[in-house]
Structure 1
Amino acid sequence: MAGTWYHHEIRVRYQETDQMGVVYHANYLTWFEMGRTEWIRAFGHTYEEIERRGLLLPVTDLEISYKRAARYDDIVTIWTRLAAMSHVRLEYDFKITREDELLVKGKTKHVWVGKDFKPARIDKKAPDLYALLTNHVSEEA
């Protein structure tokens, strides 16, 4: 189903927290990366396989909004969906929750590039992957 949120749970590890037991803010960016990695894996691909095909997907923009703190040993859920895409760009939405409580929300934007870091059209370099992504992009504005 297009735009479906993919989710997976993690337990907050001690090394992800500060002295107060609160998750250090930059760790949410790592969790966004985990979300992207697991999202594409859920659809039968890995970043390793995509990179073997000569495609890279660097982050070009990032938004993050902190609502509540996650703490050591919490079980949190990373929610990820493909929000928008074109032939050369992708945008993901993220939510981090503890049970039904929203902790963080965010967005990352990416551009497809080759190993030379020049923009690459995903529809030309990997039409099968482009078709898969097109089928799973959000229909919400």
Structure 2
Amino acid sequence: MKIVDTVIRVRYAETDQMGIVYHSNYIIWFEIGRTDWFRKIGQDYKSLEEKNILLPVIGVNCQYKKSALYDDLVIIRTYLKELKGVRLTFHYEVLREKDRELLAEGESQHAFVDRNQKPIALKKKFPEIWEMLKNNLE
């Protein structure tokens, strides 16, 4: 399993008046983690899109545990949890870097589709990408 840790610093624009990260930013952080995960396994989003493979989000959830604050360094821990048919699921943990406290965790589900939103049987059409994903599965 390929676990990728991506470190970011909480920006002022991501917080509310109390300096607490606004909830929707965690979903954006999940995307940062996911795109970094793909880069680290050698298959970035841009090259997938050039092959007419898109990965729209078909489901997402997040459980908030503790607040991230302005200027915190946070770790977005990402791994591929499930690869099945035309779908895949990523798991995320958001941790404060200094104490490794779990701030939030969640998942996102995606479908393999082409530009016309038609499902792609990745295992058949792009077996090399399927194998790369399978080799980096939890």
2:85 counterpart letter in structure 1: H
2:62 counterpart letter in structure 1: I
The residue that corresponds to 1:113 in the other structure is: 113
Give the TM-score of the pair, scaled to structure 1: 0.94
SS of the aligned residue for 1:130 comes to helix
1:132 offset after TM fit, Å? 0.3
Distance 2:39 2:30 in 1: 14
The residue that corresponds to 1:130 in the other structure is: 130
Paired residues for 1:65-104 under 5 Å:
65-99=63-97, 100-104=100-104
The residue that corresponds to 2:55 in the other structure is: 57
Q: Structure 1: where are the runs of 5+ without partners? A: none
Distance 1:135 1:87 in 2: 15
Structure 1 moving runs of 4+ over 6 Å: none
The residue that corresponds to 1:22 in the other structure is: 20
The residue that corresponds to 2:42 in the other structure is: 44
Q: Structure 2: where are the runs of 5+ without partners? A: none
RMSD of Structure 2 on Structure 1 (CA): 0.8
SS of the aligned residue for 2:16 comes to coil
Aligned residue pairs total 136
- Cα deviations across residues 82-123 of structure 1 (Å, max 9, x unaligned)? 000113100000000003100000000111001110111111
1:7 counterpart letter in structure 2: D
1:8 offset after TM fit, Å? 1.3
Distance 1:8 1:16 in 2: 17
1:125 offset after TM fit, Å? 2.4
1:13 counterpart letter in structure 2: R
Distance 2:45 2:95 in 1: 25
Distance 2:125 2:16 in 1: 43
SS of the aligned residue for 1:113 comes to coil
State the identity %: 43
